[in-house]
Amino acid sequence: MRGGKGGGLLVAGTTSDAGKSVVTAGICRWLVRKGLKVAPFKGQNMSLNSFVTREGAEIGRAQAMQAQAARVEPTALMNPVLLKPGGDRSSQVVLMGRPVGELSAKGYHGGRQKELFEPVMACLEELRSTYDAVICEGAGSPAEINLRRTDIVNMGVARAAKLPVVVVGDIDRGGVFAQFFGTTALLSPEDQSLVAGYLVNKFRGDVSLLEPGLDMLYGLTGRRTFGVLPYAHGLGIDEEDGLRVSLRGTVRESVVAPPVGADVLRVAVCAVPLMSNFTDVDALAAEPGVVVRFVDRPEELVDADLVVVPGTRGTVKALAWLRERGLADALARRAAEGRPVLGICGGFQALGERIEDEVESKAGVVDGLGLLPVRVRFGVEKTLARPVGEALGERVEGYEIHHGVADVRGGEAFLDGCRVGSVWGTHWHGSLESDGFRRAFLREVAAAAGRRFVPAPDTSFGALREEQLDRLGDLIEEHADTDALLRLIEEGAPTGLPFVPPGAP
């Protein structure tokens, strides 16, 4: 490795959702299977999909997933800056796992982002001093020329750490050759010198038909393509904020295992604004015979056996949305009829009697849906925790990320929240990943819904996650030039890469 440090690589992308997160995870799993000690890294992540590490730090779930791919414990070092959007123009800034303020996009890019470059690089250097290799993920595109001056996640990191860069492009969207060429040609000569080549993602068809184009791309840029990854169903696990990601892909895109009992169980998830940690329902979608869909109309709740009101970065905004769309009335009818509803984090808060919010929305006192005897007051300090408890006779693990403090005034205790009839509420994310608890919960839901649904006795969410991570590693091992990637990681970008005009403006 170079200079006594661990090797490294930056996985950039031509666009958002090109596949950077899953390619990074795949490379991590491939390397750890080779016996290397590997860590993921993303200097700055913008996502409402977050996770709490064991030391109580909040990071992006994508980096937590990549750490699992690398078989290491996730830490704040792996995602030092997390931006959590609270609207179109502002985000909460989380530094080293703790919130440090709310900033507009203009304010962030106008100065604060540059201040964060030093701690970002310090985290990367600490990881490189500890691990054999650090696989970094970029954000968006490295050719966002309006943001290059303050970049702390793409070429800014690559330049400072002298990391080779591989650019991933999603060929399923079309235009991948133009994306590769244009991305390279909009970078400065110094940035271009680190772009070693490309990785085609989500290819369908005969690779031999693609190869002439890859040869022409090499002729135009002097850079090779390190692999063509085939389109694979159900692999988009724990990415950032698209509804196409996570284990739900398995349900939507591939053959669903038949139910063990006579009936399927239908789960409707209210697609509230600023939805966070929608991965909470992945464990439900992984169950044979459970069908999960996202909904935004009251009529879509009619045939649902369970309705989930998920987490949100804007509880008051979500409440208004539920009322405007008639979903609030539909939820009230369900509760009156004894039909199951589950609220998680912001969804739990919305199901309560009253919210006092001078922090998130600054709306003051707002009436909740009144389905649970809970009053919520938003505090300045954020709760970040990894609780362990018991519910329905089963051990449960979860994690908490919230400003709202719940005053539970009745009902039956349920994971630090409460239950009234067939309405449940909890601040705990991830609880449904506990297999025994999930099965017990689904049995309760099936009984209340009058369905002859039986949970599969052997579904292991953890094992399914490991299978998916192994599939990502297989994709890299079988369809990428792993010898060439390993040379990049160990030795850096090759010298003498040609400049592709015009370069950065």
Distance CA 76, CA 40 (A): 11
- Annotate 219-265 with DSSP letters as a single string: HHHS-EEEEEEEP-TT---S-SS-TT-STHHHHHHSPPPPPSSSS-E
User: Tokens for 467?
Assistant: 């299978």
Helix axes 327-336, 315-324, angle to 10 degrees: 90
Which of 123, 136, 345, 418 is labelled catalytic? 345
DSSP 3-state of 368: coil
Strands 374-385 and 354-357: parallel
User: Tokens for 373?
Assistant: 């005897």
Q: Which helix (H) or strand (E) holds 81?
A: strand 81-85
Cβ–Cβ under 8 Å, residues 167 and 154: no
User: Tokens for 37?
Assistant: 């000690």
Distance CA 139, CA 127 (A): 19
Residue 163 pairs with which residues in a beta bridge?
Answer: none
Cβ–Cβ under 8 Å, residues 18 and 170: yes
Which of 402, 403, 427, 429 is labelled catalytic? 429
The yes-or-no answer on residue 270 being catalytic is: no
- Residue 285: name the closest of 244, 246, 312 by CA: 246
List the alpha helices (DSSP H) in 325-403.
327-336, 346-351
Helix axes 61-69, 461-479, angle to 10 degrees: 70
DSSP 3-state of 321: helix
The yes-or-no answer on residue 28 being catalytic is: no
DSSP 3-state of 120: helix
In the chain, % helix, strand, coil (3-state, to 5) comes to: 35, 30, 35
- Residue 138: name the closest of 195, 67, 97, 218 by CA: 195
Active site residues: 345, 429
